[in-house]
Amino acid sequence: MPESELSESNYRRISLINWALSVPTLLIFAWPFFFICEIYGINKAVSFPGSILFGLPFMLTILHGHVTMALGSAHRKHYYIWLSEVPFTYGLLFHPVIISTRFRLVLFITSLLILIFGFLFK
């Protein structure tokens, strides 16, 4: 008998894959911001936090897409409910606002404001 996609073991597998993908995807999406800062000689105190804030929304979108592909859009809410129920293990650093598009846009716009700030105060 096949295991249900809505089982806890499947949620754990998805969570572990997301944790494993988080750092590489963050680095992939953060380097363009850092590279632009290097080209224009913007201070590292601006480029590092800006790079992280720039890469986070893209990383979160990819990980959210992974959950959607694994469970389907109709069932992904069950995974996020499960994450919020296990806050000290698999749900570490998870908050429901993370999956919000508005939150990701705010992170992206904040990173662009940091870049502008870096250009102004080089």
User: Mind listing the pLDDT tens digit of every residue in the chain (122 residues)?
Assistant: 456 778 899 999 999 999 999 999 999 999 999 999 999 999 999 999 999 999 999 999 999 999 999 999 999 999 999 999 999 899 988 999 999 999 999 999 999 999 999 999 87
Please give the pLDDT value at position 2. 54
Please give the pLDDT value at position 121. 86
d(CA 23, CA 117): 26
d(CA 120, CA 116): 6
Please give the pLDDT value at position 122. 78
Please give the pLDDT value at position 3. 65
Neighbours of 6 (CB within 10 A): 13
Please give the pLDDT value at position 74. 92
**Amino acid residing at 117:** F
Please give the pLDDT value at position 1. 40
